[in-house]
Structure 1
Amino acid sequence: MKILIGTTRPFHLFHLANALASQGHEITVVGYMPRSRCELKIDHVVYISLFWKYFPITVLAFQRYNRFLQGWATLNLMKKVDKFLVKHLRNKTNQYDLFIGLSGCAVESFDAAMSKSIKTICERGSSHVSYQQKVMLDSSSEFLDVGYVDRELKGYSKANYISTLSAFAKNTFLEHGVPADKILLNPLGVNLERFPSRSFRPIDNQDFSIIFVGGWGYRKGCDILSEYVNRTEGSSLLHVGTVGVSSFPGGDRIKKMGHVANGDLSALYQKADILILPSREDGFGMVLLEALVSGCYVIASKNTGGPEIKEMAQHYSGIQIMDDVSVESIARCVDAFGKVTQSEYTDFVANVRPSLGWSGYGKRYWESFEKLVK
């Protein structure tokens, strides 16, 4: 099958392209990531990079010093990529069977694809944007651009199908009136080579390190996480990522180190004892899988892909799901890690970990799509 994937940054869609290409599909990807930073298997995937076409706006989208300027550039680029995709799809020499478009980016391009009887999937990495917007408004310090929200909603309505990454995300679409037979559910995979496993390390409740990877803010439950650390003697927290508009607590036991490239995270996971993601809203939480296959203990809220990862990991005790977003729930999960044995960890590494890679994700994605279209 000939498949077109339209995106902005890579996100998980470059991994999807590789996985689908390995199944024998012909893949073309359009995005504005520079070719030099592209992780596509070029021999199997055609990549059309728009980085220089829309330079210097692309540079503004990648910089991390001014989030408002970054947001403006990203929204602007979404519109430009969408227009490029429309022209690409209307070109008679470009024939496709399926178009997968990143939510917020693909809008008019869905119309262009469907006018040629091409099946369309809106790829959404988070919860329904209206749910996400409500959570962010509750924080009083985070918000979504109204133009972005409008593009998201239009994309949902236009596409044949919407792909989600967790049951939590899928349920937010159901709650907003999207029919169940329009929604795909497929948890992500992870690069097993980039994140090697370590030897078994039992948890010491009197002295343990926590790592949080992602944007610091209310939506990610960081207020609860910092409160837990401040209340718990012997714990320490390292934040890896941007802070944004939220205030960072700091202190002797709470440190930050800013953005770190994905390829450099492995060393940080190797040092940490526990990764915690207590999100109030999170489409999946790629860091959960990265940390888990590295050997970290993992705690996740129900509002992430944590429950799906727990199931894929065959209910391995090294990942615990919070009952609710609270300090007490984090504490209960940490206590549960005391029951993890070396034999259970060894079994997880040998027999479960290999199934969590990107190839499994691609296979699940295609199987889910085929079930819906039959």
Structure 2
Amino acid sequence: MIINIAASGRFHICDLARELEKQGHTVRFYSYVPTKRLQTFGLKKKCSYSLFWLMLPVLACIKLSNRSVWSMKLEWFVLDHLIGLFMKKCDVFIAMSSIYNFAFKKAKNKYKAITILERGSVHTLELKKIYDEQNISRNSTKNNPYYSLVSDYAIKREIEMYEFVDYISIASSSVFDTFIKYGVSPNRLFINPYGVDLSLFPPTKLNNNDNYDIIMVGNWSWMKGCDLLAEACKHLKLRLLHIGSCSMPFPKESNFTDIGCVEQSEITHYFEKAKISVLSSRQEGLAMVQLQAIASGLPLVCSKFTGGETLKDMTNSEWIKVFDPYNLDSLCKCIKEALILADKQKGMRTTIENINNIFSTQAYSKRYNDFLQKII
């Protein structure tokens, strides 16, 4: 079949495009990532339909305005219409949420294509509810990268897309529950946990020289629950290593170390320096760094809102500890249990049995392909 896939950046659906092409489909991946950059991730040149040069002025506006809401609106509007105008005929159109509206309508109305929305986090109304319940005022979140996702403009677009598309692809049971809560039919929801390139994350050997208790990979932010994680580390007197950007102040205590952003291929070297991985997010679909940590042999502590609960259900693994949301005592308890497991490891760490058939990009794309075969 002919499959058009649209994103802004690379995301996980670039890997999906690459793997679906390998399975014999004609695949076109539309984004503003330069084709040469996409080729470094294994996507064939013929599959890349890059809008980089056309989007360059918009990308400059986003950077200069520090990702203001108006610049994000501009990005969504321009990218949506450019892809809608340039899109070729297809049987299936898969696109990331928030951005596409006009393009979905063209694919469905003109080409009679099956439309699938890729939603990487909870239902948009649940996301807004999380902000409201935590008393995070709009004025205090305008510099937060998540703010644009709960603006009135974004919510209106999201809900319109939920109602219009044929299917919504999500990555975890916790996200599924939020869509059911707001009235979306389960028959339109496709749960498919993401996959990662496992060749980049082989089982590691813990470096016992000056190691850390915890590694946290991702944006240091309120949405990632880093305020709660920092409190747990202070309470338990643990050393934490952080990899990624920061959207909130990073602790200045000596037991906290911030490395900043690194290339994905380098993350495994930092996994060698830590006993366990922790992700305490307040919401997201399924954080792929969890798969990377599990593959590398680290016990994982996570909230149910990271998608970790789905990973535990798939593997029935004692190496995944899911704590009660927003509960410091539960987080501390799970961290202590995970550290006990980590201390039992000797030599090369082990990973979950049959992991290639569960967490690889090939396994993810196979589940997607099987789903497409059923609905076409």
Offset, 1:353: 5.0
Matches within 5 A, 1:8-157: 8-38=8-38, 39-43=40-44, 46-61=47-62, 63=63, 67-69=66-68, 72-89=70-87, 94-115=88-109, 116-137=111-132, 138=134, 139-140=136-137, 141-142=140-141, 143=147, 144-157=150-163
Provide the aligned C-alpha RMSD in A: 2.7
SS of 2:272's partner is helix
Structure 2 residue ranges without an equivalent (≥5) = 142-146
Matches within 5 A, 1:135-284: 135-137=130-132, 138=134, 139-140=136-137, 141-142=140-141, 143=147, 144-199=150-205, 208-233=212-237, 235-244=238-247, 246-284=248-286
Q: For 1:296 and 1:19, how far apart are their aligned partners in 2?
A: 27
C-alpha change, 1:45 and 1:19, in structure 2 (3 Å) is farther
C-alpha change, 1:180 and 1:95, in structure 2 (3 Å) is same
Structure 1 residue ranges without an equivalent (≥5) = none
Amino acid in structure 1 at the alignment position of 2:234? N
Offset, 1:280: 1.5
Offset, 1:274: 1.5
Matches within 5 A, 1:300-339: 300-312=302-314, 314-337=315-338, 338-339=340-341
Does the Cα contact within 8 Å between 1:98 and 1:120 map onto a contact in 2? Answer: yes
SS of 1:220's partner is coil
C-alpha change, 1:68 and 1:44, in structure 2 (3 Å) is closer
Please, what TM-score do these two structures have when normalized by structure 2? 0.87
For 1:135-185, what per-residue CA distance to the aligned partner results, in whole angstroms no more than 9, with x for missing partners? 134233433333222222222121111110111111111111111111110
C-alpha change, 1:47 and 1:353, in structure 2 (3 Å) is closer
C-alpha change, 1:160 and 1:349, in structure 2 (3 Å) is closer
What percentage of aligned pairs have identical amino acids? 29
**Number of residue equivalences:** 361
C-alpha change, 1:308 and 1:201, in structure 2 (3 Å) is farther
Q: For 1:135 and 1:323, how far apart are their aligned partners in 2?
A: 15
For 1:251-300, what per-residue CA distance to the aligned partner results, in whole angstroms no more than 9, with x for missing partners? 12123233323233222222122211111111111111111112222111
Please, what TM-score do these two structures have when normalized by structure 1? 0.87
2:5 matched to which residue of 1? Answer: 5
Q: For 2:158 and 2:336, how far apart are their aligned partners in 1?
A: 40
C-alpha change, 1:353 and 1:60, in structure 2 (3 Å) is farther
1:352 matched to which residue of 2? Answer: 355
Offset, 1:111: 1.0
Does the Cα contact within 8 Å between 1:26 and 1:45 map onto a contact in 2? Answer: no
For 1:108-143, what per-residue CA distance to the aligned partner results, in whole angstroms no more than 9, with x for missing partners? 111111112111001111111111122134233433
For 1:181-209, what per-residue CA distance to the aligned partner results, in whole angstroms no more than 9, with x for missing partners? 1111000001111222213789xxxx842
Does the Cα contact within 8 Å between 1:186 and 1:365 map onto a contact in 2? Answer: yes
Q: For 1:7 and 1:43, how far apart are their aligned partners in 2?
A: 16
Query: Runs of 4+ in structure 1 displaced over 4 angstroms?
Result: 339-343
C-alpha change, 1:75 and 1:240, in structure 2 (3 Å) is farther
